[in-house]
């Protein structure tokens, strides 16, 4: 029997839209010429790139000459921040950002900090929002630029507001925003919002992977990123990915034109999902309850490792994430959740379900059916409550001792053996709920981990 797949990880990447695929096909087959070539076929490719540039610019309220194509959001962020730091290194050496930025921003600023810059990382409230007053107080005479993300990729909270850009402009400070998760999903006008630089990525709004763009306001000098043949007006050398650029523009144009309709539909699905998941005990919503991206529903669950929940859902054909896909496999608690004030143990139990216009109400009900599945017997619930208390009081070592002690009872009579196995499984499930699953290296061990993760469904429902 074929497993029913429900894709609920659209914040990680989206399926390529039909409009994007249709637009790309000619440039993958017949019209494959280098856009720098002077003959007619090359000129056709050049026209396609420039038309795409106009489309992207129109979608965010920019001018075509302010758009530079990149390989994605990470490159755009790196290019923007490093270029600004290089530009101001002899004048201003102070930067302001937030504590919940994507690692493409945080790690780049960390490297810049090593070169002698001072970086102020603004804290956030429990919903992941910054204080505008705190931002204004942080601006100094030597502040070079501010980088605040438009919306958070893990919890979905929207941070971008016209006030950030206007306050920055009043003080003569450049404003960059990582809008990778927001472009194509919420309205953004770089002129109205006083944005000087903006990063975006194609695959977040159903464009092709490996495509992105950086908006740079005309009066914001941008230093070259890569040297070579002088493409992108001498700022980013390398033969343009014509098919990818055309696909990005087509997907963005489609997303912007249908934004209101898609947003209303996806918000309804998201709200139904949140309503259903919050009926499960020991589950908490993360991010702002209202000011959040249309498709992202994020939660933390007590006593369960996020990776375990992802594995359990995968067993039932549901694609989800324990946070940012870019840091998947990391066993550290999310820096975003820790910044909102959650304790580390609870932050490890994060799960993100992100929807798009491709999802249906049947998908949402399927997810809820799995998450709200059968409840375990009362005896198992009682055992789990006991071991939870043991873990909280004595830690993991005590739990390990009980697990291996109970195994000895397996040689006793049949009823006791059955009870001991149930008790052992309960202990093992709860014990492993906060253990890194990376300890299971081999294929055989992965099967064991998958089986344990499946049983963790019981824990989530108790």
Domain span holding position 153: 18-257
Q: Indicate whether 50 belongs to any domain.
A: yes
- Residue 376 CA to residue 166 CA, distance in Å, equals 55
Residues 90 and 106 in one domain: yes
Bridge partners of residue 147, in order along the sequence: 176
**Domain count across the chain:** 3
Written as six digits, the tokens of 437 are 């699953």
224 contacts: CB under 8 Å, gap ≥ 6: 234, 235, 236, 237
Q: Indicate whether 1 belongs to any domain.
A: no
Q: Indicate whether 250 belongs to any domain.
A: yes
- Pairing type for strands 350-354 and 296-301 reads antiparallel
So what's the pLDDT on residue 155? Answer: 97
392 is catalytic: no
Residues 162 and 300 in one domain: no
CATH code at 364? 3.90.1150.10
CATH code at 146? 3.40.640.10
Is 13 within 8 Å of 5 (Cβ atoms)? Answer: no
- Residue 421 CA to residue 416 CA, distance in Å, equals 9
Domain boundary among 371, 400, 434: 371
- Pairing type for strands 174-178 and 197-201 reads parallel
Residues 282 and 252 in one domain: no
Residues 279 and 424 in one domain: no
Residues 410 and 428 in one domain: yes
Q: Which of 136, 267, 326, 429 is catalytic?
A: 326
> What is the length of the chain?
462
- Residue 363 CA to residue 10 CA, distance in Å, equals 13
Give pLDDT tens digits along the chain (462 positions).
567 899 999 999 999 999 999 999 999 999 999 999 999 999 999 999 999 999 999 999 999 999 999 999 999 999 999 999 999 999 899 999 999 999 999 999 999 999 999 999 999 999 999 999 999 999 999 999 999 999 999 999 999 999 999 999 999 999 999 999 999 999 999 999 999 999 999 999 999 999 999 999 987 778 888 889 888 888 999 999 999 999 999 999 999 999 999 999 999 999 999 999 999 988 999 999 999 999 999 999 987 788 888 888 998 899 999 865 454 445 578 999 999 999 998 998 999 999 999 999 999 999 999 887 745 455 555 555 555 555 555 554 444 445 444 444 444 445 555 555 555 555 555 544 443 332 223 233 333 444 444 444 444 443
Residues 189 and 64 in one domain: yes
Is 400 within 8 Å of 431 (Cβ atoms)? Answer: yes
- Residue 96 CA to residue 84 CA, distance in Å, equals 13
Q: Indicate whether 115 belongs to any domain.
A: yes
Residues 383 and 367 in one domain: no
Residues 228 and 326 in one domain: no
Q: What angle do CA 191, 153, 146 make, to 5 degrees?
A: 45
- Residue 208 CA to residue 16 CA, distance in Å, equals 6
Residues 264 and 239 in one domain: no
Residues 251 and 315 in one domain: no
Domain boundary among 257, 288, 317: 257
Q: Indicate whether 124 belongs to any domain.
A: yes
Is 63 within 8 Å of 57 (Cβ atoms)? Answer: yes
- Residue 60 CA to residue 57 CA, distance in Å, equals 6
Residues 218 and 90 in one domain: yes
Domain boundary among 319, 336, 371: 371
**pTM listed for this prediction:** 0.82
Q: Count Cβ atoms below 10 Å from residue 65 Cβ, excluding itself.
A: 12
Residues 63 and 196 in one domain: yes
Q: Indicate whether 347 belongs to any domain.
A: yes
363 contacts: CB under 8 Å, gap ≥ 6: 6, 7, 8, 269, 355
Q: What is the edge-to-edge ordering of all strands in the sheet holding 212-216?
A: 67-70, 212-216, 197-201, 174-178, 143-147, 94-98, 118-122
**Residue that is written with structure tokens 């992207």 in the block:** 56
- Residue 160 CA to residue 234 CA, distance in Å, equals 31
The number of CA neighbours under 13 Å toward the Cβ of 316 is: 22
Is 151 within 8 Å of 181 (Cβ atoms)? Answer: yes
Question: Which of 86, 89, 83 is CA-nearest to residue 70?
Answer: 83
User: Which three-class secondary structure string do you get for the chain?
Assistant: CCCCCEECECCCCCCCCHHHHHHHHHHHCCCCCCCCCCCHHHHHHHHHHHHHHHHHHHHHCCCHHHEEEECCHHHHHHHHHHHHHHHHCCCCCEEEEECCCCHHHHHHHHHHHHCCCEEEEECCCCCCCCCHHHHHHHCCCCEEEEECCCECCCCCEECCCHHHHHHHHHCCCEEEEECCCCCCCCCCCCCCCCCCEEEEEHHHHCCCCCCEEEEECCCCCCCCCECCCCCCCCCECCCCCHHHHHHHHHHHHHHHHCHHHHHHHHHHHHHHHHHHHCCCCCEEEECCCCCECCCEEEEEECCCCHHHHHHHHHHCCEECECCCHHHCCCCCCCHHHHHCCCCHHHHCCEEEEECCCCCCHHHHHHHHHHHCCCCCCHHHHHHHHHHHHHHHHHCHHHHHHHHHHHHHHHHCCHHHHHHHHHHHHHHHHHHHCCCCHHHCCCHHHHHHHHHHHHHHHHHHCC
Written as six digits, the tokens of 83 are 């270029």
Bridge partners of residue 353, in order along the sequence: 297
Q: Indicate whether 443 belongs to any domain.
A: yes
Q: Indicate whether 333 belongs to any domain.
A: yes
So what's the pLDDT on residue 426? Answer: 56
């Amino acid at each position: 029997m074929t497993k029913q797949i429900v894709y609920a990880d659209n914040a990680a990447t989206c399926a390529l839209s039909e409009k994007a695929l249709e637009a790309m096909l000619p440039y993958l087959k017949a019209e494959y010429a280098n856009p720098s070539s002077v003959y007619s076929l090359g000129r056709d490719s050049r026209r396609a790139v420039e038309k795409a540039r106009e489309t992207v610019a129109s979608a965010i309220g920019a001018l075509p000459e302010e758009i530079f194509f990149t390989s994605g959001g990470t490159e755009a962020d790196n290019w923007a921040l490093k270029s600004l730091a290089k530009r101001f290194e002899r004048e201003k050496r102070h930067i302001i950002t937030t504590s919940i930025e994507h690692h493409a921003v945080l790690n780049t600023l960390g490297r810049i900090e090593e070169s002698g810059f001072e970086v102020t990382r603004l804290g956030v409230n429990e919903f992941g929002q910054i204080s505008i007053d705190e931002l204004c107080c942080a601006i100094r005479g030597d502040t070079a630029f501010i980088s605040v993300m438009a919306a958070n990729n893990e919890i979905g909270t929207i941070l971008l507001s016209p006030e950030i850009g206007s306050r920055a402009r009043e003080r003569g400070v450049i404003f960059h925003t990582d809008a990778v998760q927001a472009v194509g999903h919420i309205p953004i006008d770089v002129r109205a919002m006083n944005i000087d630089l903006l990063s975006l990525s194609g695959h977040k709004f159903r464009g092709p992977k490996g495509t992105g763009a950086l908006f740079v306001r005309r009066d914001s000098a941008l230093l070259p990123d890569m040297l070579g043949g002088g493409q992108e007006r001498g700022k980013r050398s390398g033969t343009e990915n014509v098919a990818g650029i055309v696909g990005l523009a087509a997907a963005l144009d489609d997303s912007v034109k249908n934004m209101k309709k898609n947003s209303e539909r996806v918000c309804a699905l998201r709200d139904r999902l949140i309503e259903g998941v919050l009926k499960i005990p020991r589950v908490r919503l993360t991010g702002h309850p209202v000011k959040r991206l249309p498709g992202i529903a994020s939660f933390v669950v007590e006593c369960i490792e996020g990776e375990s929940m992802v594995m359990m859902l995968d067993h039932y054909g549901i694609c989800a994430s324990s946070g940012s896909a870019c840091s998947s496999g990391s066993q550290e608690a999310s820096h975003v959740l820790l910044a909102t004030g959650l304790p580390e143990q609870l932050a490890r139990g994060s799960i993100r379900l992100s929807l798009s216009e491709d999802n249906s109400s049947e998908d949402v009900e399927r997810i809820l059916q799995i998450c709200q599945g059968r409840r375990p017997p009362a005896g198992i619930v009682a055992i789990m409550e006991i071991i939870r208390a043991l873990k909280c009081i004595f830690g993991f070592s005590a739990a390990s001792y009980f697990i291996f002690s109970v195994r000895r009872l397996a040689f006793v009579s049949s009823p006791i053996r059955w009870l001991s196995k149930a008790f052992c499984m309960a202990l093992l499930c709860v014990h492993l709920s906060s253990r890194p699953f990376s300890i299971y290296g081999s294929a055989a061990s992965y099967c064991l981990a998958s089986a344990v993760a499946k049983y963790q469904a019981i824990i989530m429902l108790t």
